[in-house]
Protein backbone atom coordinates (compact mmCIF):
# COMPACT_ATOMS: atom_id res chain seq x y z
CA UNK A 1 0.00 0.00 0.00
CA UNK A 2 1.36 3.41 -0.98
CA UNK A 3 2.72 5.72 1.73
CA UNK A 4 2.81 9.48 1.08
CA UNK A 5 4.55 12.32 2.90
CA UNK A 6 2.89 15.73 2.97
CA UNK A 7 3.86 19.03 4.57
CA UNK A 8 1.04 21.29 5.64
CA UNK A 9 -1.34 22.78 8.19
CA UNK A 10 -4.52 21.40 9.75
CA UNK A 11 -7.46 23.46 8.50
CA UNK A 12 -10.38 21.32 9.73
CA UNK A 13 -11.05 18.41 12.13
CA UNK A 14 -14.18 16.28 12.47
CA UNK A 15 -14.95 13.59 15.05
CA UNK A 16 -16.17 10.23 13.72
CA UNK A 17 -16.81 6.85 15.36
CA UNK A 18 -15.79 6.53 19.01
CA UNK A 19 -12.17 7.66 18.89
CA UNK A 20 -11.30 8.74 15.34
CA UNK A 21 -11.06 12.07 13.54
CA UNK A 22 -11.12 13.11 9.91
CA UNK A 23 -8.29 15.60 9.48
CA UNK A 24 -8.21 18.04 6.57
CA UNK A 25 -4.97 19.85 5.79
CA UNK A 26 -3.70 22.45 3.37
CA UNK A 27 -0.63 20.70 2.00
CA UNK A 28 2.25 22.18 0.05
CA UNK A 29 2.33 19.25 -2.36
CA UNK A 30 -1.32 18.39 -3.03
CA UNK A 31 -3.42 21.29 -1.78
CA UNK A 32 -6.43 20.24 0.29
CA UNK A 33 -6.13 16.66 1.52
CA UNK A 34 -8.20 14.69 4.04
CA UNK A 35 -7.28 11.54 5.95
CA UNK A 36 -8.48 9.56 8.94
CA UNK A 37 -6.57 9.61 12.23
CA UNK A 38 -7.61 6.38 13.95
CA UNK A 39 -7.78 6.31 17.74
CA UNK A 40 -6.59 9.91 17.94
CA UNK A 41 -9.21 10.87 20.55
CA UNK A 42 -8.00 8.28 23.05
CA UNK A 43 -6.32 9.87 26.11
CA UNK A 44 -2.89 8.39 25.34
CA UNK A 45 -2.91 8.79 21.54
CA UNK A 46 0.69 9.55 20.56
CA UNK A 47 -0.06 11.78 17.56
CA UNK A 48 -2.73 13.91 19.23
CA UNK A 49 -0.40 16.86 19.93
CA UNK A 50 0.79 16.91 16.29
CA UNK A 51 -2.67 17.52 14.84
CA UNK A 52 -3.26 21.02 16.15
CA UNK A 53 -4.01 23.94 13.79
CA UNK A 54 -1.57 26.82 13.20
CA UNK A 55 1.55 24.59 13.21
CA UNK A 56 3.33 23.44 10.04
CA UNK A 57 3.63 19.65 10.24
CA UNK A 58 5.02 16.72 8.27
CA UNK A 59 2.41 13.98 7.80
CA UNK A 60 2.74 10.38 6.65
CA UNK A 61 -0.43 8.85 5.25
CA UNK A 62 -1.10 5.33 3.99
CA UNK A 63 -3.45 4.36 1.17
CA UNK A 64 -4.63 5.52 -2.25
CA UNK A 65 -8.36 5.77 -1.62
CA UNK A 66 -10.60 8.72 -0.91
CA UNK A 67 -9.71 8.71 2.78
CA UNK A 68 -6.20 7.37 3.50
CA UNK A 69 -4.97 6.69 7.05
CA UNK A 70 -2.56 8.80 9.08
CA UNK A 71 0.45 6.76 10.23
CA UNK A 72 2.81 9.52 11.37
CA UNK A 73 3.03 13.25 12.13
CA UNK A 74 5.80 15.55 13.30
CA UNK A 75 5.56 19.28 13.90
CA UNK A 76 8.29 21.17 12.05
CA UNK A 77 8.29 24.11 14.45
CA UNK A 78 7.02 24.92 17.91
CA UNK A 79 3.53 26.40 18.26
CA UNK A 80 4.14 30.17 18.14
CA UNK A 81 0.53 30.80 19.16
CA UNK A 82 0.83 29.00 22.49
CA UNK A 83 0.43 31.42 25.39
CA UNK A 84 -0.44 34.38 23.15
CA UNK A 85 -3.49 36.62 23.56
CA UNK A 86 -7.00 35.63 22.51
CA UNK A 87 -6.91 38.23 19.71
CA UNK A 88 -3.76 36.70 18.22
CA UNK A 89 -5.12 33.14 18.38
CA UNK A 90 -8.52 34.06 16.95
CA UNK A 91 -6.78 35.97 14.15
CA UNK A 92 -4.83 32.83 13.21
CA UNK A 93 -8.00 30.75 13.29
CA UNK A 94 -9.81 33.32 11.11
CA UNK A 95 -7.13 33.03 8.42
CA UNK A 96 -7.42 29.24 8.73
CA UNK A 97 -11.19 29.43 8.19
CA UNK A 98 -10.67 31.52 5.05
CA UNK A 99 -8.15 29.01 3.70
CA UNK A 100 -10.46 26.08 4.47
CA UNK A 101 -13.38 27.79 2.74
CA UNK A 102 -11.52 28.54 -0.50
CA UNK A 103 -9.30 25.47 -0.95
CA UNK A 104 -10.19 22.76 -3.45
CA UNK A 105 -9.53 19.05 -2.93
CA UNK A 106 -6.25 17.80 -4.43
CA UNK A 107 -5.52 21.08 -6.23
CA UNK A 108 -2.14 22.54 -5.18
CA UNK A 109 -2.03 26.31 -4.69
CA UNK A 110 1.48 27.34 -3.72
CA UNK A 111 0.71 31.10 -3.54
CA UNK A 112 -2.10 30.39 -1.06
CA UNK A 113 0.13 28.07 0.97
CA UNK A 114 2.95 30.61 1.10
CA UNK A 115 0.58 33.47 2.02
CA UNK A 116 -1.01 31.42 4.80
CA UNK A 117 2.35 30.26 6.13
CA UNK A 118 3.65 33.85 6.19
CA UNK A 119 0.45 35.18 7.74
CA UNK A 120 0.73 32.87 10.76
CA UNK A 121 4.38 33.78 11.30
CA UNK A 122 3.56 37.50 11.19
CA UNK A 123 0.38 37.42 13.28
CA UNK A 124 2.04 35.37 16.03
CA UNK A 125 5.25 37.38 16.36
CA UNK A 126 4.74 40.99 15.27
CA UNK A 127 2.58 43.88 16.52
CA UNK A 128 -0.18 45.47 14.47
CA UNK A 129 -2.69 42.61 14.25
CA UNK A 130 -5.43 44.55 12.44
CA UNK A 131 -3.04 45.84 9.79
CA UNK A 132 -1.52 42.38 9.33
CA UNK A 133 -4.97 40.84 8.99
CA UNK A 134 -6.05 43.27 6.27
CA UNK A 135 -2.80 42.53 4.43
CA UNK A 136 -3.10 38.74 4.62
CA UNK A 137 -6.84 38.50 3.99
CA UNK A 138 -6.14 40.38 0.76
CA UNK A 139 -3.09 38.18 0.05
CA UNK A 140 -5.19 35.03 0.44
CA UNK A 141 -7.98 36.47 -1.72
CA UNK A 142 -5.41 37.23 -4.41
CA UNK A 143 -4.03 33.69 -4.18
CA UNK A 144 -7.55 32.34 -4.71
CA UNK A 145 -8.32 34.87 -7.47
CA UNK A 146 -11.04 36.88 -5.70
CA UNK A 147 -9.25 40.02 -4.51
CA UNK A 148 -11.01 43.38 -5.07
CA UNK A 149 -10.22 44.99 -8.41
CA UNK A 150 -9.26 48.55 -7.43
CA UNK A 151 -9.82 51.27 -10.03
CA UNK A 152 -7.43 54.12 -9.24
CA UNK A 153 -7.97 57.86 -9.50
CA UNK A 154 -11.26 58.34 -7.63
CA UNK A 155 -12.02 60.32 -4.48
CA UNK A 156 -15.18 58.34 -3.67
CA UNK A 157 -15.31 54.54 -3.79
CA UNK A 158 -17.90 51.78 -3.71
CA UNK A 159 -17.21 48.05 -3.50
CA UNK A 160 -19.50 45.87 -5.58
CA UNK A 161 -19.80 42.74 -3.42
CA UNK A 162 -20.78 40.52 -6.36
CA UNK A 163 -18.03 41.26 -8.87
CA UNK A 164 -15.37 42.62 -6.54
CA UNK A 165 -14.82 45.94 -8.31
CA UNK A 166 -13.82 48.97 -6.25
CA UNK A 167 -14.64 52.14 -8.16
CA UNK A 168 -16.93 55.20 -8.05
CA UNK A 169 -20.02 53.42 -9.40
CA UNK A 170 -23.02 52.96 -7.09
CA UNK A 171 -25.21 49.86 -7.45
CA UNK A 172 -27.74 47.90 -5.42
CA UNK A 173 -24.97 45.49 -4.36
CA UNK A 174 -22.30 48.05 -3.54
CA UNK A 175 -21.04 49.41 -0.23
CA UNK A 176 -19.41 52.80 0.29
CA UNK A 177 -15.67 52.57 0.97
CA UNK A 178 -13.63 55.31 2.61
CA UNK A 179 -10.80 56.66 0.45
CA UNK A 180 -8.32 55.71 3.18
CA UNK A 181 -9.45 52.08 2.97
CA UNK A 182 -9.02 52.08 -0.81
CA UNK A 183 -5.48 53.45 -0.35
CA UNK A 184 -4.73 50.82 2.32
CA UNK A 185 -5.95 47.95 0.14
CA UNK A 186 -3.94 49.23 -2.79
CA UNK A 187 -0.81 49.36 -0.60
CA UNK A 188 -1.48 45.84 0.72
CA UNK A 189 -1.76 44.46 -2.82
CA UNK A 190 1.26 46.40 -4.08
CA UNK A 191 3.87 46.22 -1.30
CA UNK A 192 5.32 43.58 1.03
CA UNK A 193 4.24 43.14 4.64
CA UNK A 194 7.27 44.91 6.10
CA UNK A 195 6.47 48.05 4.10
CA UNK A 196 2.76 47.93 4.99
CA UNK A 197 3.46 47.50 8.71
CA UNK A 198 5.34 50.81 8.64
CA UNK A 199 2.21 52.68 7.52
CA UNK A 200 0.41 54.90 10.03
CA UNK A 201 -3.26 53.97 9.74
CA UNK A 202 -5.95 55.40 12.02
CA UNK A 203 -7.94 53.02 14.20
CA UNK A 204 -11.27 53.54 12.45
CA UNK A 205 -9.78 52.80 9.03
CA UNK A 206 -8.24 49.59 10.36
CA UNK A 207 -11.51 48.45 11.92
CA UNK A 208 -13.64 49.37 8.89
CA UNK A 209 -11.16 47.77 6.48
CA UNK A 210 -11.16 44.46 8.30
CA UNK A 211 -14.94 44.33 8.72
CA UNK A 212 -15.52 45.13 5.03
CA UNK A 213 -12.99 42.51 3.91
CA UNK A 214 -14.64 39.87 6.09
CA UNK A 215 -18.07 40.77 4.71
CA UNK A 216 -16.68 40.45 1.20
CA UNK A 217 -15.02 37.10 1.97
CA UNK A 218 -18.18 35.69 3.54
CA UNK A 219 -20.19 36.70 0.49
CA UNK A 220 -17.84 34.67 -1.72
CA UNK A 221 -17.87 31.54 0.42
CA UNK A 222 -21.62 31.89 1.07
CA UNK A 223 -21.33 31.22 4.79
CA UNK A 224 -20.38 32.96 8.00
CA UNK A 225 -16.87 32.81 9.38
CA UNK A 226 -17.13 31.87 13.05
CA UNK A 227 -13.93 33.68 13.99
CA UNK A 228 -15.12 36.86 12.26
CA UNK A 229 -17.91 37.30 14.83
CA UNK A 230 -15.40 37.00 17.66
CA UNK A 231 -13.08 39.54 16.03
CA UNK A 232 -15.88 42.01 15.36
CA UNK A 233 -16.71 41.98 19.08
CA UNK A 234 -13.09 42.37 20.16
CA UNK A 235 -12.32 46.03 20.87
CA UNK A 236 -8.66 45.17 21.51
CA UNK A 237 -8.18 43.92 17.96
CA UNK A 238 -10.37 46.26 15.97
CA UNK A 239 -9.04 49.31 17.78
CA UNK A 240 -5.38 48.21 17.49
CA UNK A 241 -3.04 50.70 15.89
State the 10-residue block means of pLDDT for the chain, 241 residues long.
92 94 96 95 89 96 89 93 90 95 93 97 90 96 95 92 92 91 96 96 92 92 86 58 39
Residue 21 pLDDT: 95
Are residues 144 and 136 in contact, defined by beta-carbon separation less than 8 angstroms? no
Order across the sheet with 174-177: list the strands: 149-150, 165-167, 157-160, 174-177
In the chain, where the domains are located: 3-75, 86-238
Chain centre to alpha carbon of residue 89: 12
Residue 199 pLDDT: 95
- Dihedral angle of Cα 151, 152, 156, 161, to the nearest 10 degrees: 20
The angle subtended at Cα 104 by Cα 56 and Cα 69, nearest 5°, is 60
Question: β-strands 157-160, 69-75: how paired?
Answer: unpaired
Residue 66 pLDDT: 81
Residue 230 pLDDT: 76
Residue 139 pLDDT: 97
CATH of 3-75 among 3.90.320.10, 2.60.40.1080, 2.40.50.140, 1.20.140.10: 2.40.50.140
Q: Of 16, 54, 53, nearest to 35 (Cα)?
A: 16
Reported as a single tens digit per residue, the pLDDT across 32-81 is 999 999 999 998 888 988 999 999 999 999 997 789 999 999 999 999 99
Q: Of 12, 60, 56, 58, nearest to 34 (Cα)?
A: 12
Are residues 70 and 37 in contact, defined by beta-carbon separation less than 8 angstroms? yes
Residue 241 pLDDT: 39
User: What residues does 69 pair with on adjacent strands?
Assistant: 36, 62
For residue 92, the SS3 value is helix
Class of 86-238 per CATH? mainly alpha
Query: Could you check whether 3-75 and 86-238 share the same CATH topology?
Result: no
Residue 97 pLDDT: 96
Please classify residue 194 by burial: count the beta carbons closer than 10 Å to its beta carbon, then call 0-12 exposed, 13-18 middle and 19+ buried. exposed
What single DSSP character describes residue 148?
A: -
Amino acid sequence: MKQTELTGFVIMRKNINDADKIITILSKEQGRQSFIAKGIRKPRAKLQSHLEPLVETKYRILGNGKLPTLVGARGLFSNEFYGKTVDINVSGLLLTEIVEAFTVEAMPNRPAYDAYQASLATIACKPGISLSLSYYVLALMRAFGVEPDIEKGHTLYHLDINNGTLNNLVSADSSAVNLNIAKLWNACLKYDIETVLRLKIDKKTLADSLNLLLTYAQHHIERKLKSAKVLSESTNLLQAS
